[in-house]
Amino acid sequence: MEKVRIFRRLLLLEGLLLAVFLSVFLYKGKDLEKLAETAGKTGDQQGDFIKWVDFQVSASALAKAYEYDRDSWQAEVHLNWIELLAYTAAETGGDFSSGNQVNACLEEAADRLTQGETIEELTEGMKYYDYYLEAYTAVLGGMVGEYEIQVEAEPSLGNQAQEPAQAEREPELVWEKRYGLKAFLPVAKNFPYSDYDDFGVSRSYGYRRQHLGHDMMGQVGTPIIAVESGYVEALGWNQYGGWRIGIRSFDQKRYYYYAHLRQGFPYALNLEEGSRVQAGDVIGYMGHTGYSTKEDVNNIDQTHLHFGIQLIFDESQKEGDSEIWIDCYQIVKFLYRNRSECARDDATREWHRVYEMREPGED
């Protein structure tokens, strides 16, 4: 009898394990089915565009792919970081949690492309490569490229012998052409902040919903930086976000959302809807406004910036149930390497960037 009981328990355990396996398989199957429905849809027919993006690329993968791109800029074969990441995602099913596997995919792609294989040859037969390429281009398309930035001029031999009072003058700035990361962390250089991955956690003000952004905790008045160049599409009060700014990228694919800005002095002076902003510009100041239908109210307990990235493949996705917001925690970690240095104007109490930047095509 004891043997029979043990046998029955083993059968029951086996059945439970099988049920768990099937539930995981079916859940993953739904994800793949959802991906298949949206992969590569960019035509002109109504509704023929990407409707879902789950961006899981790690900061380390972003950094490795970016360094391949930057370091090969003037080489015979210029590696495109978005193509490398899309190839890796097609190999891993969009899962970047295994660092060893991800590194191996990136290295294999870089090696094969450097040796003369084309990206078309490399990705032939990859069912989801086109989807990941379009999705990741929408996420990262404006972050890397050519630009010019001001740098401090090297002092001449004659200037080295200046009197101390002359030597303390502001350094001369000159323009330098570069290629690389031209997007910035949303918090200014030398200002402390703390954060963690809080995308998707529950929020209850107004109604129960998911947190569709990334919170960066800091001090009131911390300068907030434009991550990418674009146009101010929204400016003013929102009962959930308080004083907030919405900036649309020039290619129209990304909408950057900055919320809970400072009470009384939330924005950079002269900023208004329609204003053109440059990546690295000071656009506003950290605060804790929001959670009120009345304007200029501090109803948020902790001072922080709510930073969000929305993807837009069709204008019907801009507002409503079809909005696509991505987890940008890993992007923020990656952007930490590029922080905009700012200085304070005591007369206006405003902060402004120290080193101006311009991109190709600007006047």
**Per-residue pLDDT for 8 more than 60?**
no
Coarse DSSP helix, strand, coil percentages of the chain, rounded to the nearest 5 percent: 30, 25, 45
pLDDT (0 to 100) of residue 1:
43
**Per-residue pLDDT for 348 more than 50?**
yes
**Alpha helices of the chain — where are they, by DSSP H?**
2-38, 59-71, 81-92, 99-114, 119-122, 129-140, 164-167, 329-335
Task: Indicate the residue type of 312.
Answer: I
Give residue-wise pLDDT tens across range 267-290.
Answer: 999 899 999 999 999 999 999 999
Question: Could you tell me the domains of the chain?
Answer: 59-141 (no CATH), 146-181 (no CATH), 194-356 (2.70.70.10)
Residue 67 burial (CB < 10 Å; 0-12/13-18/19+)? middle
Structure tokens given for 187: 């918090």
Beta strand spans in 96-229 (E): 144-152, 173-181, 194-195, 202-203, 209-210, 214-217, 223-225
* DSSP sequence for 286-302: BB--BS-SSSS-B--SS
Q: Are 266 and 287 in contact (CB under 8 A)?
A: yes
Distance CA 261, CA 241 (A): 8
Give residue-wise pLDDT tens across range 16-46.
Answer: 444 433 343 333 344 444 454 444 444 344 5
- Give the predicted TM-score (pTM) of the model: 0.85
